[in-house]
Each structure stands twice: as C-alpha cells, then as structure tokens.
Amino acid sequence: MRSGIINGAASATLFAIMLAIVSSPAHADLMIQNVTIIDPVAGETENQDILIGNGIIAAIGERGSIATFAPVDSLDGTGKFLIPALWDAHVHLTFDKEIGNAALPLFVANGITRVRDTGGLLSEILLVQDVAKERGPEAPVIYFAGPLIDGIPRVYDGTPARFPNISDGASTPEDAERLVDELTAAGASLIKSYEMLKPDVFRALIARATERKLPVTSHIPLSMDAKAVVAAGVRGMEHLRNIGLSCSDKADTLLTERQTMLREGMKEEGSTLRSSIHAAQRPIAFGSQDAERCGALIKALGDAQVFQTPTLALNTRGAFRQFLEPRQREPFEHLPRAARDRWNRFADDAAETSIDPAYVAFADWSLGMVSQLHEAGVPIMAGTDTPIGLLTPGFSLHLEMETLVRAGLSPQEALASATLRPAQFFGLEEKMGTIEVGKSSELVLLTANPLEDIANTRTVDTVITRGFVLDRTKLDDMLENAAPE
C-alpha cells in the first residue's frame, strides 16, 4: 500500500524518517486475511479478505478468493474484527494548554483517525494542524471550525479563566458574513455558532456559510426557538443544548423572557449572562416538558436531518461520575503531569460531594431525548467535548458510544455514529465511513466483536491509517510517549 505522504515527492530522507517512526514500513499493498468485517450499514460478514492500496479498499471477497498480480504483504485477521476507523465529532484541541498536542497520539491509539474540532482560536488550531500533519499517521486528520461564532457579549471571551477566549463576536449580519469568509479562506471545514447570536445575525451566518459550502453546527441561540433554528438551515446541533427550553409547554413565554434578559444584559460578562439565563429558565423548562410540542420539534429535526452530537458522556457525568471508574480514570496517566494531577484532584473532590438531583434529572432527560431523536431518524454523531469534563482524548469516545447504546442505539448504530455519520455530516460518505470497495482504507482491527458489546471497540489491535500499519506494540508506545515528562 502506497502512502499518500510518501507518494509524489518522496525523498530518501523523508522515507527514512517515516520508517523510523512506525513499526511497519509503508506497504505497496496489503491484504488483510480471514477477518470478520463489522460494517456500520451491512453488519457482520465472516471470513473475508480485504486488499488495500493507494489509500482505498481495492477488493473484498471470501477468504482466498482475491487474486493479486504481485505478492503483497498480509495481515492475519483470524479471530479479529475490522471496523472503519473512528471519528470523535466534538473535540477542543486548543482548550487545555497543559494537555496541548499530547492529545494527538491518544486519539490514534484508540482507533480515531479523524476529529472535528468544534471551537478554538484560528491561530492556535492552525498550529495544531501543522503539528498533526508533521506527525503523519500518529495524529488524526483535523476538521476545524475555528472560533465559536458568538454574539455580543461573548460567553468564551477569556473571563473568567474557565471560559478561555475561543470565540469571535458577530453583532451584525455583515460581521457574520465577514467571519465566514475569513474562516473559509483559512481552511475551516465547518462553522460553530454559539448561544448569544441574534436571530438576524444567525440567519446571515447560515446563509453565507451555505454559499461557501460550510456546514454550520450550533448551540441553539438563546434568542431563538429550536424550530426556527432548524428552519434557518442549520446542519448540526451540539450537546442537545437549549433543546429543553423549546420542549417546554411554557416555551413561548420563556423565549420572550430570554430575549428581554439578553437585551438588558448587553453590558454584562457573557458567561455570567448565559449562566443567569440558564439558572432562571432550565428548572422551569425541565419541569414542564411537553411531549406533543417536543414531538413536533423532533419530527422537524428528522425531516431536516439535523445531525445531533449529544455528548452524552458529558451530559451524564454529573450523575454517573464515570470518571471514577478505573477504566475511565486510568487513562489520565497518559496526560502531561500538570493536567493529570489537576484531573485527579478534581475527580477526588467530586467523589466527596453528594450527587445533585438536578444532574440526575438532566442525565435522564438527555438519554430519553437521544432515544426519541434516534427513533425519529435524526442522525446521531458520537462526540465527546474532550478535554472538557475529565474526558480523556481518545479513550472517552468509547465511553460515548457505550452511553449512546445505553440511550437505546444498537451497537451497530453506535458504531455508525462514530464512522458513517461524521462522514455524512461533511458530505464524505462516498469516500469513507463504511467498509466497501473504493472507500478509505483507514481501518481498525479489534480483538472482540463490538456488535456483541459496544465496549469491545476498546480492544484496538491494529490501526491502519495513511498507508501505515500501527500494531499494538506501536500503539502502546505512542500512549507511553504521548506526554512529555
């Protein structure tokens, strides 16, 4: 299998560097033999051979049925399960300076070869992208939004410090159009819209992004009802954020009140204003959910195929405290020391406090909402929000898929949420997301069947990406050396 990196202007030096950093050299071609394919659409097929080359799957057939003209390297897939490589559809690579680029190998070592960065300053995310490109197969491909596009005041403007400056503010439609143009020129793959946008600015943002062929994913602006956001042409929504406000039988009154609070709070700090709105409205909204009204919204989301990235592991962490389970906590050891110590302190402190019933109610609501969305045919994507919420880069995606299954997705559907759905979000489904001839040869071998238990996506044996075969020894090595000491 020829590597895209080595292809073309291959120099002897570059080739030598590449050989040095991976355990297996780049292949002219590779045959994976006698493997069980686990495809997010077609399901399970046993005893298959798969020939890959030039970055794509060249042939798939029953064991022993694929003829090759020249000898090819082979990889024994006996007893193993082959899935498309995974995506984490919601990450913030520039959020935690103490973690920094140590996150990159953690994704790949967990079978994740593509990530969607949903908010960070352009200058910073471009630097991370440069590092990722240098590291080749040991870093994921990054699809980035650049800064959150917020209104005025902005929530993430650097004050207080737990709201780092990762946003830009648009107060007029012209501002929004200019920002979309700048991000398009800088190579952004999507636009992330935030909660303080005014309706006319939000609509202008979507219109310009659509012209530029950039999908917009949103936190539903507080100034709008969710159905109006759908009608505006949004492609995605994150965290189920603010959907609950629009599902209340008091939704219209709450909206009017919010619009007043937003007008009167123009001079306040953005994060304070948002918190005070949520504090005033969420208890009322969650205490008055209206099945009929919510059903109409869910139908609209299904009709418009608005991708939902519910970040269920994040939404349920206050109630379930998964970060105290050894399999969630042990991965902290792969973080740089300062971050690891901080996370451990935070987890220990959290363990000492009692669980707030509001967290339990929100976790239940989130699981129930995902179940309904999924039943209505709304596309669901697996995204974590890592490194927020003590969710370790890479490892946390497996928890997200498990939590999606807890919400009612089948294991196969949960697998689709981390493979085919993100590809569809970006219109890349002809190129990747399933295991078919002509599609991407970014693949992951597992030692246990994820359709029997979605937790088995953790049993990563080998990652095939960008022309390289990263075996378990190599992946362990990457984990071991992720954090500079």
Closest-approach residue to Zn ion (CB): 385
Residue 105: closest CA among 139, 129, 74, 131: 139
Which residues, numbered 21-80, are part of the site for Zn ion (CB under 5 A)? none
CB of 85 to Zn ion, least distance (A): 22
If the CB atoms of residues 80 and 192 are measured against Zn ion, the closer one turns out to be 192
Rounded (5°) CA angle 280-286-290: 125
Which range binds Zn ion by CB under 5 A, 113-121, 258-266, 282-290, 466-474? Answer: 113-121
Total residues at interface with Zn ion (CB under 5 A): 2
Tell me the Cα Rg of the chain.
Answer: 22
If the CB atoms of residues 426 and 468 are measured against Zn ion, the closer one turns out to be 426
Pairing assessment for the beta strands 216-218 and 191-193 based on DSSP bridges: parallel
Q: CA separation (Å) from 83 to 45, 72, 425, 460?
A: 11, 21, 19, 10
CB of 119 to Zn ion, least distance (A): 6
If the CB atoms of residues 110 and 167 are measured against Zn ion, the closer one turns out to be 167
If the CB atoms of residues 315 and 412 are measured against Zn ion, the closer one turns out to be 315
If the CB atoms of residues 237 and 369 are measured against Zn ion, the closer one turns out to be 237
Q: For residues 368 and 40, what is the distance between their CA atoms, to the nearest angstrom?
A: 23
Residue with tokens 């919010």: 258
If the CB atoms of residues 385 and 442 are measured against Zn ion, the closer one turns out to be 385
The contact pattern for Zn ion, residues 277-316, with x = CB under 5 A and - = no contact, is: ----------------------------------------
Which range binds Zn ion by CB under 5 A, 94-102, 111-119, 222-230, 326-334? Answer: 111-119
What is the residue type of 41?
A: V
CB of 91 to Zn ion, least distance (A): 8
CB of 388 to Zn ion, least distance (A): 6
CB of 238 to Zn ion, least distance (A): 6
CB of 452 to Zn ion, least distance (A): 31
Which residues, numbered 355-394, are part of the site for Zn ion (CB under 5 A)? 385
Q: For residues 281 and 258, what is the distance between their CA atoms, to the nearest angstrom?
A: 8
The set of residues, in sequence order, having a beta carbon less than 8 Å from that of 163 and lying 6+ positions away, is 155, 156, 157, 270, 271
Q: For residues 417 and 414, what is the distance between their CA atoms, to the nearest angstrom?
A: 5
CB of 149 to Zn ion, least distance (A): 13
Q: Work out whether 117 is an interface residue with Zn ion (CB under 5 A).
A: no
* Tokens coding 197: 């946008």
Exposure letters 265-274 (e unless 16+ CB within 10 A, then b): beeebbbebb
Cβ neighbourhood burial of 476 (10 Å; 0-12, 13-18, 19+): exposed
Q: Which residues bind Zn ion (CB under 5 A)?
A: 118, 385
